[in-house]
Amino acid sequence: MQRKTYKKNFEKNGYVIIRNFISKSSQDKLSKDLIFSFQKNLKLKSINEKNIHGILHNLERNSDYDDMYNSVKKFHDSYSFKNTVEKIVVFSNNIFKKKFKVINLGMAQGMNNSNRTSYKWHQEKSYYKNKKTLHFQFPILNKCNKKNGTMSVLKKSHLLGRVKKTKFFKKHNKSVSSKTPKNINKILKQFSEQFINLKKSDLILFHENLLHRSNKNFTNKVRFAGIVRVQERPNRVK
């Protein structure tokens, strides 16, 4: 797809999937660095791509949330993650012909039998009210699909603009929170829900006003998706 087509589809639907954004060697390095971050932080050399899922589900059951969080933070400092972030900034600059800077890094971590890390319908705009932002996700370790709880979006819902009346949901202080529109039931009738299937080479770009949520993970593997948020640099006033 061409630069203009990405922009056009993004503006039309509120999101676009960029295929083949992450090369095979970057995918492998991202997976390795993720495992390495958990090995280091949990002081468990034996963690590998196979047993990580069981180990993390155990941590979740034991409410060992900080250990998981700190491992992910370590991963954000890894070379492969930083490199991907840099590529995303360059991509944003090229697509929109503007200058962007990183404002937040994250990780969607979807666990079986847990909705602690699962978001209800929300717009990123409600967290970044005074900024112009773009939002990205890409799979790490395994692809993201409906079975493992990939995010879904309400196609074209960015056309609503910022939905101001929201309700705050948070289960406990270690769970994620969502600012869900009060009239979500009405909105759900207006737009179609699309599940975001991402291969390991794919990247999704979505609009700050696009409504999206996490879904239930029915598999016994953790769903990992790297999150990058960038902000349009405001024009300098002389």
Binding site for ligand AKG (CB under 6 A): 108, 110, 119, 124, 135, 137, 151, 212, 214, 225, 227
Provide the minimum distance between the beta carbon of 57 and ligand AKG in the complex, in angstroms, as a whole number. 17
In terms of CB distance, is 52 or 222 closer to ligand AKG? 222
- The residues near 171 (Cβ < 8 Å, ≥ 6 apart) are 115, 116
Is 192 exposed, middle or buried (CB count within 10 Å of its CB: 0-12, 13-18, 19+)?
exposed
Q: Measured on CA atoms in the order 7, 137, 200, 40, is the torsion positive or negative?
A: positive
In terms of CB distance, is 45 or 168 closer to ligand AKG? 168
In terms of CB distance, is 156 or 229 closer to ligand AKG? 229
In terms of CB distance, is 33 or 124 closer to ligand AKG? 124
Provide the minimum distance between the beta carbon of 43 and ligand AKG in the complex, in angstroms, as a whole number. 28
Separation between Cα atoms, residue 212 and residue 120, nearest integer Å: 8
Provide the minimum distance between the beta carbon of 154 and ligand AKG in the complex, in angstroms, as a whole number. 13
Provide the edge-to-edge strand list for the sheet that holds 100-110: 15-18, 203-207, 133-140, 223-232, 100-110
Provide the minimum distance between the beta carbon of 124 and ligand AKG in the complex, in angstroms, as a whole number. 6
Phi, psi (degrees; rounded to nearest 5) at 53: -65, -45
Question: What CA–CA distances, in Å, run from 213 to 61, 62, 185?
Answer: 23, 25, 14
Cβ(78)–Cβ(36) below 8 Å: yes
Q: What is the dihedral of CA 78, 221, 215, 37, to 10 degrees?
A: -20
Provide the minimum distance between the beta carbon of 148 and ligand AKG in the complex, in angstroms, as a whole number. 10
Question: What CA–CA distances, in Å, run from 140 to 22, 123, 130, 131?
Answer: 10, 23, 31, 28
In terms of CB distance, is 39 or 115 closer to ligand AKG? 115
Q: Measured on CA atoms in the order 37, 88, 15, 188, is the torsion positive or negative?
A: positive
Provide the minimum distance between the beta carbon of 188 and ligand AKG in the complex, in angstroms, as a whole number. 17
Provide the minimum distance between the beta carbon of 52 and ligand AKG in the complex, in angstroms, as a whole number. 18
In terms of CB distance, is 81 or 119 closer to ligand AKG? 119
Q: How far apart are the first and last CA of the chain?
A: 38
Q: Which residue is nearest to ligand AKG (CB)?
A: 214
In terms of CB distance, is 14 or 110 closer to ligand AKG? 110
